[in-house]
Structure 1
Amino acid sequence: MKIIKLSLIAAAVIGLNACSLDGDDGTNGVNGQDGAPGQDGSNGLTSLTVQTNLPVGNANCPNSGVQIDSGLDSDADGTLAASEVTSTSFVCAPGTTSVESAEILTSLNNNWFVQGQQEVAQAKQTWLEATSGISLPASSAQVTQYQTSSSVEQQALIAQLKGSAKNVILFIGDGMGISTVTAARILEGQMNGGLGEENNLSFDTFPFSGLAKTYNVDAQTPDSAGTMTAMVSGVKTDVGVIGVDEDIVRGDCSTVTGNELVTALELAEIAGKSTGIISTARITHATPAATYAKSADRNWEDISDMPEEVVTLGCKDIADQLVNFEDYLEARFDGLDVDGIEVAMGGGRRHFLPRDEAFNSPDAVSGVEGDRTDGRDLTAEWQAKYSAGMYVYDEASFNTINTETTERVFGLFNESHMQYDADRPNDVAGEPTVAQMTETAIKVLDNNPEGFFLMVESGRIDHSHHAGSAYGALTDTIAFAEAVAVADDLTNDSDTLIIVTADHGHVFTIAGYPKRGNPILGKVVGVGQTEPALAADDLPYTTLGYTNGRGFRDFGDEVTNADATYAFDPDTGRKDLTDVDTTSPGFHQEALVPTSSETHSGEDVGIYAKGPGAFLVNGTNEQNMIYHIMDYASDLKQKAEDKL
């Protein structure tokens, strides 16, 4: 029966459907009136979010960061009480990796690092073979009283050299290629009344020398960030990154974690030595920054240079990393207690001051000197952190430093880079020379019986070459050589390793067939001639020139700032120099290929060394070997591990 009933119902439905297909739809009825509005509901609770900056050492963010609390304002008082927090998250700075003391060098298995160690071993063997049966050179170490007659004795003496350097000084002539050294040597000699070629710069007389290959992991012609990272960490890396290995992705700060390198300066700091950095460039520029910072981009000198998403991730700008170097280094190593960098001097005030006219220095040249967009005055933060230290910003305050009693010095002598040496007298408030800064640094650092590590960069050699001014580059090189001489005079060969080198060269040439003693900045005058030689286009030409760059400019004697050329368009190609004084400070050499700025070169650069471990400098080397020489001479890694 159930089956029959269901069938009847189904048939009825089918029938109704069939009927509906036959008839037309009726017209719609008129809409009824809207009902009266209902009462408003009660207001909901306000959602609140609070961000709290976390310092280095925080349990949730060991390397600093931001804590984000959110919840509903249940008591409607406009503040988020602890009882109202329903969600907490953290954005932590990824810039450092905590490691145990046994892993002090995260680069031990890096191929570049291993290769550098092998080069040191080979250099020792080369020296053994070359000196078998003779005494150690007097400048090598304090073992000259021994006469060696066998390889066994030689090896014993080499073993004594390991770790015997109490002090290490690394001098970097930024952009100081071989041709720059040669031309500066000649110019200095001619300025002193000689023919020039017979002259020696201070480091030319160092007993050991060799060459360094400057390429970066990803570039045939390098930049300073990659080359300096190699020299102070023992690991070659990519263009444009600071203190990290080649696994980094430039511009992606999330890739910094796990790829940080430990530098010679950091090892010296951990080992209890005093540390210092000097540069005539901005102290946040690539070369000095590589000693203390870890950055996915060399251009992140202050927070205003960083993309917003990078700041949100908690990455730190380079200026912040300098001022808070002590805290960040301690956060990376469990139980570490260091006292921070004792001496830091250079240019770059703008990266430490807020973008607010009220914070301008007395000698500010811009309407608003500072660049920082986070409102922080890092010079004030440094002074609060190191109340016994001295912050100096001009020549007068620099001259008040008492090197016997001053514990630390922070000097920022210009808004951007310091002046070219030729242009230094024009500085608004005056600034010290690189030699004066070197002398002061050594006298302050030398108060530590454990010794010191000091890096000195002459950064404006590079900048003058970029501007196409040989005069500026060579006079800065001469000033740099004077700083090396000061360091040599103030230290002892028996306990101080001094290395002088460059990060890269420039497309700077010494050409033609000028006679002996011909002014190095002058036009080519051939042997036996008195008039300038003419090229195939019947025009005279200079001994010095550039393969590419901004080209000819004649500012005469009045303009000593090489950067003045940037106010004009490049002017390359041949010029009639017949009536031009090419020896004047304002003359810029001709360039073959027009570019907005003259470029680096991929040539090898010189290494000059004296003191314990200097004998390891010989032949042609990978640039990262320089770190391994410093480590061998001062035993930095082992001494650092002993402190942990």
Structure 2
Amino acid sequence: MHDRRTLLIALAGLLGILLLVYLIPSNEPSPVKGAYQVSGDPWFTGGKAAIERREAQQPITKRAKNVIVFIGDGMGVSTVTAGRIYAGQKKGLQGEDYDLAFDTLPYTALVKTYNTNAQTPDSAGTASAIMTGVKTKIGVLSLSDEATPGHCPGPEQLQQLSPATLLELAESVGMATGIVTTTRLTHATPASTYAHSPSRNWEDDSVMPPEALEAGCTDIASQFVDFPYGDGVDVAFGGGRRHFLPEDQVDPESDGAYGRRVDGRDLIEDWRRRHGPGARFVWNTEQFRSLSPETDGPVLGLFEPSHMRYEADRDDDQAGEPPLSEMVDKALGFLEGHGDGYFLLVEGGRIDHAHHAGNAARALEETREFSKAVQVALDRTKVEDTLILVTADHSHTFVMGGYPPRGNPILGLVHKVNPDGTPSDELQPAEDGKPYTTLGYLNGPGAIDGERPTLTDETVLAVDYRQQAAVRARSETHGGEDVPLYARGPWAHLATGTMEQNVLFHIVDRATGLGDRAGRD
């Protein structure tokens, strides 16, 4: 009887254990409802391929022989996105899944753009941070934060406030150097490579205050010609002839424009004398296209009295001016044969100017040409020895909004999406019952006083159309948000996460060893 009772107790315990095992959820995964492998779906297979490309990417940790820094002036994230769609639609595609040249680069980061005294920055302070590794104040060119804007402390103290730029370091170690821009060569971004000035506005001596001249400060254009490092900049293309010519000299185009210098110097002639018989100055497309790296150099090209023309307005005849992509191609032709490597700054400067005008069409066309220029560099260089960085100095108050269907013209009016998910021919009205564009600005000259006009596709797709803005301003302002950084080549893997803008200098310095090679502390 006792043995039977023990057996029953044991069986009951075993049944209890089995019941617990059944009730406790298993750690084994359950099969998903639906197939993991989505056969034939391009998004699924494309996503897997993207991961495989990332897995295969290996950092390059050898020293970079060459460096190219591309700055799309004002090319924030919204400009990149809209520019990508615009460029794709120009090719007859929907646009959203199109890639600009720099979209294909393997490493990316976000860059903080504020100046030391400004939440929303300007190009002088931001470009100076990239070129010197030191953040500084708004409006100041390649001086440390201790500098006072617009105040000349004298040559000796100015020297103490002047951190070396990447271009200066490159010249001091024997590298070839170049600057390519669509703005004036003396404008803030290109000037940050070779000039140190308490004011970005001191492009020639006519705009400098008398006390600054008396204290011994010099204008930006003369700093380019009198550049004290190495043998000077080897190739420079851009605009800004007026700042190099005396006020009594007619511009080469003979359109009634004169130089602006009041010191009587003809800086173009001074530049020729400094560089000797092989130096070539060019000011139009015909002269530019005749340049030969085998017989010419150094080279200075100044194609307009002020900024170069917008790409949408550029005249491609022999008396006109070359596009940015062609200038980059020509510059690399002069630089790439240099045994000690080269440093090249390329600025797509008129993206910024079109945004200031509230004119998205020209800003996006400039972005498209900027992408072409990046592609030229990618095609002409080797990933193993050339570090390429593509970034912006700052953003703009430029936004994309509404719920337009995919493929909606990026410059066009917002259309509805039908309930079944297909695009509609019907426009999406705002609260006032009138249509609106996908693109707009927080502030700028496109603001409307009173009732908004009724827009049509014909109106908003015109190249001169100014997108509507919320707040009226004579000139649209910069934006203060982070900007993207794209990188390829030696030490490009350092472009990751969110970084201060001056870190870009240190990426280049780490990749090239410029600071150590130049004997800089």
Superposed CA deviations along residues 391-434 of structure 1, whole A, max 9, x for unmatched, are 00111110110023322110100000000000112889200111
4+ residue segments displaced more than 3 Å:
570-573
User: Hey, what does 2:142 align to over in structure 1?
Assistant: 243
Q: 2:164 aligns with which of 242, 262, 267?
A: 262
Q: Is residue 2:433 matched to residue 1:538? A: yes
Instruction: Judge conservation of contact 1:464–1:472 (CA < 8 Å) in 2.
Output: yes
Asked if 1:409 corresponds to 2:326, the answer is no
Distance in 1 separating the partners of 2:391 and 2:454:
37
Give the match for residue 19 of structure 1: none
Per the normalisation by structure 2, the TM-score is: 0.86
Are residue 617 (structure 1) and residue 495 (structure 2) matched?
A: yes
- Whether contact under 8 Å (2:413, 2:457) holds in the other structure is no
1:261 positional shift: 1.0
User: Per-residue deviation at 1:580?
Assistant: 4.4
Provide the residue aligned with 2:48 in structure 1: none
Do structure 1's residue 325 and structure 2's residue 227 form an aligned pair? yes
For residues 241 and 212 of structure 2, the distance between their equivalents in structure 1, rounded to whole angstroms, comes to 23
Code of the residue aligned with 2:486 in structure 1: it is Y
Deviation at 1:581, TM superposition (A): 2.6
Q: Does 1:187 align with 2:86?
A: yes
Match of 1:379 among 244, 268, 275: 268
Measured after TM superposition, the shift of residue 351 of structure 1 is 0.2
What residue is the counterpart of 1:277 in the other structure?
A: 179
State the alpha-carbon separation in 2 of the partners of residues 572 and 232 from structure 1: 45
- In 2, distance between residues paired with 1:525 and 1:635? 53
Work out the number of aligned pairs and report it. 460
Question: Please, which runs of 5 or more residues in structure 2 have no aligned partner?
Answer: 1-50, 419-423
1:581 match: secondary structure = helix
Kindly provide the CA deviation profile for residues 434-463 of structure 1, in whole angstroms up to 9, marking residues without a partner as x. 111101111101121000000000100000
Counterpart Cα distance in 2 of 1:574 and 1:248: 46
Query: 1:475 aligns to what SS in structure 2?
Result: helix
Q: What does residue 356 of structure 2 align with?
A: 466
Structure 1 length as normaliser, TM-score? 0.69
- Give secondary structure in 2 for the equivalent of 1:436: helix
1:309 matched to 2:211: yes
Deviations 1:356-390 (A, max 9, x none): 1xx3233143x242010111110011011112111
C-alpha separation between the residues in 2 aligned to 1:289 and 1:362?
23
1:215 equivalent in alignment to 2:124: no
Of 56, 70, 78, the residue aligned with 1:171 is 70
- Give the root-mean-square deviation of aligned CA atoms: 1.9
| Greater C-alpha radius of gyration | 1
> 1:256: how far off?
2.4
Instruction: Give the deviation of 1:270 after TM superposition.
Output: 0.8
Q: CA deviation at 1:318?
A: 0.1
Q: Provide the identity percentage.
A: 51
Which residue type is aligned with residue 466 of structure 2?
A: H
Aligned to 1:30: none
Task: Say whether 1:522 aligns with 2:412.
Answer: yes
Cα drift, residue 572 of structure 1: 8.4
| CA offsets 1:592-635 (integer angstroms, 9 cap, x no match) | 10001000000100000000010001111111110000111111
* Higher RCO by CA contacts (8 Å cutoff, separation 6 or greater): 2
Give the Å deviation of 1:166: 0.1
Aligned partner of 1:442 among 309, 324, 332? 332
Which blocks of at least 5 consecutive residues in structure 1 are unaligned?
Answer: 1-130, 142-160, 330-337, 553-569
- Equivalent residue for 1:354, pick from 226, 233, 246: 246
Provide, for residues 461-515 of structure 1, a one-character-per-residue CA deviation record: whole Å limited to 9, x for no partner: 0000000100000000000000000011011000000000000000000000000
The residue aligned with 1:137 is: 57
Does the residue aligned with 2:314 lie in a helix, a strand or coil?
helix
> Cα gap change, 1:322/1:429 in structure 2, threshold over 3 Å: closer, same or farther?
same
Asked whether the equivalents of residues 551 and 571 of structure 1 are also in contact (C-alpha less than 8 Å), the reply is no
| Alignment partners' CA distance in 2, 1:425 and 1:137 | 42
Q: Report what 1:102 is aligned to.
A: none
What does 1:110-125 correspond to in 2, within 5 Å?
none
Name the CA distance, whole Å, in 1 between partners of 2:399 and 2:187: 26
Q: Contact between 2:132 and 2:505, CA under 8 Å: does it hold in 1?
A: yes
Report the 3-state secondary structure (helix = DSSP H, G, I; strand = E; otherwise coil) of the residue aligned with 1:226.
helix
* Residue pair 1:363, 1:428 contacting (<8 A) in 2 also: no
For 2:506, the equivalent position in structure 1 comes to 628
Judge conservation of contact 1:469–1:589 (CA < 8 Å) in 2.
yes
Question: In the alignment, is the contact (CA less than 8 A) between 1:539 and 1:578 conserved in 2?
Answer: no
